[in-house]
Structure 1
Amino acid sequence: MEPEASPQDSLATFAADLRALRIAQGEPTFEAMSRATGVSKSVLSEGLNGKKLPTERTVSSLLTMLGQDPAPWVARRAALDPRFGGVDALAPAEARTGESGKRPITRLTLFLTAAATAVVAVVATSLVWSLALGPTSADAAAPTSSASASASANATEGAEYLPYADGVDPMRTICRNDAVIAGSATHLDGAMQVQMMYSHNCMAAWGRVTRYDGKAAGNSISMRVYPAVDVDSPRSQERTAFDLQSLYTTMVIEPDVDARICGLATVTVDGETVELGPPYCI
């Protein structure tokens, strides 16, 4: 379903079209959409009911979850945002979702994008402080890096977060804070969705699978993530649960940005096991 933007487009029309798309996809609950997108139920409700223009991230995550290409919707949203006055938001959306929300982007691309953003932020911050404070002896302090910053944050946040490592729940670590959907695919006519998540700060990947067939009770969902070069690697992570609509795996840490991490999900439908293949790699 493509958005039908027009010069007379409005927040109400945009919200109505989002509601229609949700209904067309089986009308998943706000709880299910929140768990699948990482966006709160209240924010989703405001956006779908036209109370507030949803952010670009919310629109992109929601449309990807609904199995659609988020790019035209993000562009349409930008046209409604008075801050941008119709600035083309298509390119940023494509960079995050892999051109169509269906083909995964590589971890190297994600890494380079995040690294470039971090460098710009550091340079800008340094310039502001240099102008404000002038040169001091502290200017000769040891340099920092994104890796050391992440390690420092991981240590200082110890009271709230767990240290990130293979096999750790990503939602209990700082990795959740910069997690993005690196790739997403729907299966069984939109009844199932498989996603690969990635955190640049942690160099970590994990998988998420969500079902929208209304048959969670009595059935299972399972997903396994593993290094692409070794399906049976001891670093592989797998999780299975019954009676759940959505499940995510524990993490695989991979410092080599050229290495790929894959995920493969299975579900049971009325007791029959269905593989949601082929494997999805980022």
Structure 2
Amino acid sequence: MKRSILFRFHKNPELCKDRLRLLKELNPEVNIYGLGENINRSEELKEAGLEDIHVIDDKDSEWKWMNGDLAVRDWFKNKGKNRDFDMLHVVEWDLLLAAPLDEICGHISKGSLGLSGLKPIDEAENYGWSWITGEYRDEWRKLREWVESQTGYSGESFGCIFPGCCLPRSFLEEYSDLDVPAYSNDEVRVPLIAEALGYKLERTGLYPEWGQTSINRYFNATGDLIHPEKIRGELEKTGGRRAFHPVRDRIGKDKLMDWRI
């Protein structure tokens, strides 16, 4: 399977360069493309491993945060469709992957989506997931209606968290042909539309269950930062975790490689 990385960023070029160097060290044959902002010194990221950078100028930061799938869709329509890959790995600037993609995501089938934290939507609702309850309940209803009108699908779906998702090329081709509305957010839309299009959803294993302290201390989508010493402890452990989010401390490539067993 030919893999490519889409590296999403919006600030902190020095940290981004560290992450890119690590990704390239661990995945020397994988092309890395950029999806980000016109931040100061962004061109230096190409020296660290980016092939090119795609910038969406007509949307604000909140839109990009909520609509990662639509940002990826924009990249694919403008650039990605001309790139050679079977599977696209979306890697955020604060997602630390300390092992090759083949090791972390090798279990994801070529034509399937790899998503983290997959949870049946009724369980997510009982959990009180804000993207389908409260102020977003009406948007969730509108999204289901839109999907049914476009595809005829009215079955159940899943919620997920977006960091580290694996998107097959065929899905991106079909997704880019749809005029996907910005109802709710990416973590709701992608699983639903993928199932409506007939794709299998597979678990990345990066975030096995919601709300568990034993998982959140290493990987979460709530903004609780992961400390370098926790990362070191896992990397020095046989069979330890190799993916962490969010990590915003600078940890040099050489130091991380030394920590790895």
**TM superposition score category, shorter chain reference:** under 0.3
TM-score by length of 1: 0.26
Higher relative contact order (CA 8 A, sep 6+): 2
Give the greater-gyration-radius structure (CA): 1
